[in-house]
Structure 1
Amino acid sequence: MFLLPSKNLTLTIPLVLLTGFLVGLQVDTSGLQKYILPVTILMIYPTMIGFTLGEVLRPNNKRLLFSSLAINFIFIPLLAYVLGSLFLRHHPGLFAGLAVASLLPTSNMTIAFTMFAGANVAAAIQLTVVGLITGSLLAPWYLLVMVGKYIPVDVLTVLKTLTMVVILPLIMGTLTYRLLLRKYTPEEFQAKFKPYLPAATAWGAIYIIFTSISTNAHRIVDNIEMIILVALLVQLLFYAINYLGVIQFSRYFFNRRDGITLVYGTALRNLSISIGLAATAFGADAALMVSLAFLIQGQAAAWYLRFIQRKAVIGEYCQSGREIEGRLKAR
């Protein structure tokens, strides 16, 4: 039961959105909002258990790392700003949610899907940690530029919130991992503890999504077409352009393994941290925008995985065909 939400997020998130919406129409859930920050810290903490400083500082993959930083902090924020300016100028909360997600790249999903695809897992870990720390430092200033004229941005509050939801869990996770390694081997950690960590994060995300949608339920009813349809359209465009752009870039400049790692290290956003920051710093609309991204991100990552796996099978089939043809000609 505990592991269930993390095993099927594509089903869990819509159910939580629907349940939160229905409950919010009947019950005042605003009291739940005061617990969003501590729940966010506890939600992020498990994702940080297992990272080591050596993996982050390893000098390999420099070109891949710098490319991911350029995409994550130039191309993707610019894309979010353009889409937000075109479609969300009259909905500053939604714009803020899109901006927050665009500035916090990568998550454990990056590492997991990179592993499933047989790509560069060591580089994925490095991209994840460096991207999160960089995003935490840059996000307050980017948000000020991107949405400051549409919604008040308190830079110090955002910076403090990011410190609480990224740096503090990272320190806690690192210390926890060191303590666990005194008693268990890395292999035992992977077998006994690692499977439960995404589940703990998923339950925290459920709490934040439920709180955000339920406290916003009546306003959604009053503006359902504008809020839901426009927000969903923007998220679909955001992910589609993101994937297509990075896939093309990776094909030109990287080999297959590193190219796949780059796609997953940039197309995926850290929605767990994003929704906590959005709800805490910008309110229910911003959290709703990030909630909708949950519906798209997992599916898009899975579709890309199927695409590259199918392409690999076709490539192997064609290679075998060429080898057979060459043997026949040689005879």
Structure 2
Amino acid sequence: MKLYHFPQKHLLIVVPLTLIFSFIAGLYVDTSFLRPTILIATILMIFATMVGLRIQELTKLKNESKMIGVSFLINFIMIPLIAFFIGTIFFSNEPLMFAGLALVALLPTSGMTISWTGIQKGNVPGAVKLTVFGLIAGSLLTPWYLLAMVGQYVNINVMMTVHTILMVIFIPLVLGQITTKLLLKKYSKEHFQKKIKPNMAPLSIWGLLYVVFVSTSARAEMIVANLQLILTALIALILFYLLNYMIVTVIALKFFKRNDGIALVNGTVLRNLSIAVGLAATAFGGEAALLVTIAFMLQYQSITYYARIAGKRWFKEIRSNNVKPASVQVQN
């Protein structure tokens, strides 16, 4: 179990090491025969994130309708426009990298949205709704957005993209809901939340690492011959996340209360990169998957620093002025 949980606990170390190992292995071993297994690994990876997802929360929109509406405008208008602008500057001659950036921009929210909202003591139920809504809306809109954003650079087969999304999102979603219901029949809700669901997350990380390894090693020679692409991708992604954090934070502070503002930032800036890397690898190949992998490392690191700074500056926790008596505090 320690080995199983190791990648999740040390993601900032494991992902770069996997990339390095992928490059080295790909230079000496032909791993292209593993490409057909990427789809299976992606389905397994997404399935692990779908177990325990409360899709019924999507129907309860009364208290968060404003936040969901604004998040839709940010996720499907503002962020794609930012990505398109950056893509035309950095990747006009690298269409597959452009496609990878587009996938990063078009698939909002992930498990990180919910977990980081909880860590920052924001509106967790609202974050759940943003996650489910963003997942479904992003799945339906992505093929058409890809056609509009990078169709002139990459030959986009819309029906094939729809088929891939059905395979890597909706099948795991259905299987995840079925698995959740079966587990809740056998175990209590408390046992499921404390014991079973936490043990599903590492499975998703292992799937991610496998997809990164296969998609990168299969094109290692091409990537090593174009190391400048990695530096360009890094600069483009830093600019992408920096602009998103700045703009969404301003919107959150101006139009929302603290808890909703935290959920809005996490529900828009954080992208569903687990699905994006699977789609990139299956639909476009190693270059696109490489860019999404770099985004994965940046996103994990950036939200860690953002949460610390925001908690001390603009999203300070509101504490009650009513202090409990000393005897009560000791008893608690």
Matched residue pairs, number?
A: 318
Q: Which residue of 86, 89, 93 maps to 1:90?
A: 93
1:67 deviates by 0.8
Match of 1:281? 283
| SS of residue paired to 2:200 | helix
C-alpha deviations, 1:164-195, integer Å up to 9, x for none? 11111111111111111112121110111111
Shift in CA distance, 229/190, structure 1 to aligned 2, threshold 3 Å: same
Hey, what's the Cα distance between the residues in 2 that align with 1:143 and 1:169?
Answer: 22
C-alpha deviations, 1:27-60, integer Å up to 9, x for none? 1111111111111001000101112333111122
Match of 1:181? 184
Hey, what's the Cα distance between the residues in 1 that align with 2:60 and 2:249?
Answer: 25
C-alpha deviations, 1:64-88, integer Å up to 9, x for none? 1111111000001111100001110
Decide whether the 8 Å contact of 2:71 with 2:267 is kept in 1.
Answer: yes
Match of 2:145? 142
| SS of residue paired to 1:132 | helix
Shift in CA distance, 313/79, structure 1 to aligned 2, threshold 3 Å: closer
1:217 deviates by 1.3
Hey, what's the Cα distance between the residues in 1 that align with 2:317 and 2:175?
Answer: 44
Hey, what's the Cα distance between the residues in 2 that align with 1:125 and 1:176?
Answer: 19
- Give me the TM-score of the superposition, normalised by structure 1: 0.93
Shift in CA distance, 95/313, structure 1 to aligned 2, threshold 3 Å: closer
1:312 deviates by 7.2
Hey, what's the Cα distance between the residues in 2 that align with 1:37 and 1:143?
Answer: 20
How do 1:295-314 and structure 2 match up within 5 A? 295-311=297-313
How do 1:257-272 and structure 2 match up within 5 A? 257-272=259-274
Match of 1:127? 130
Match of 1:10? 12
Residue segments in structure 2 that go unaligned for 5+ positions in a row: 322-332
1:314 deviates by 7.1
- Give RMSD over aligned pairs: 1.6
Hey, what's the Cα distance between the residues in 1 that align with 2:315 and 2:74?
Answer: 29
1:315 deviates by 7.6
Shift in CA distance, 88/50, structure 1 to aligned 2, threshold 3 Å: same
Q: Which residue of 156, 161, 174 maps to 1:158?
A: 161
Match of 1:323? none
Q: Which residue of 232, 236, 240 maps to 1:230?
A: 232
Residue 85 of structure 1 aligns to which amino acid in structure 2?
T
Q: Which residue of 84, 107, 112 maps to 2:110?
A: 107
1:258 deviates by 0.5
1:274 deviates by 0.2
1:154 deviates by 0.3
Residue 290 of structure 2 aligns to which amino acid in structure 1?
L
Instruction: Tell me which stretches of 4 or more aligned residues in structure 1 moved more than 2 Å.
Output: 308-317
Hey, what's the Cα distance between the residues in 2 that align with 1:316 and 1:50?
Answer: 30
C-alpha deviations, 1:182-231, integer Å up to 9, x for none? 12121110111111111000000000111122112111222112x11111
Q: Which residue of 211, 214, 217 maps to 1:214?
A: 217
Structure (1/2) with the larger helix percentage = 1
Hey, what's the Cα distance between the residues in 2 that align with 1:215 and 1:304?
Answer: 35
| SS of residue paired to 2:15 | helix
Larger deviation: 48-57 or 304-313?
Answer: 304-313
Match of 1:50? 52
Hey, what's the Cα distance between the residues in 2 that align with 1:122 and 1:313?
Answer: 18
Shift in CA distance, 245/37, structure 1 to aligned 2, threshold 3 Å: same
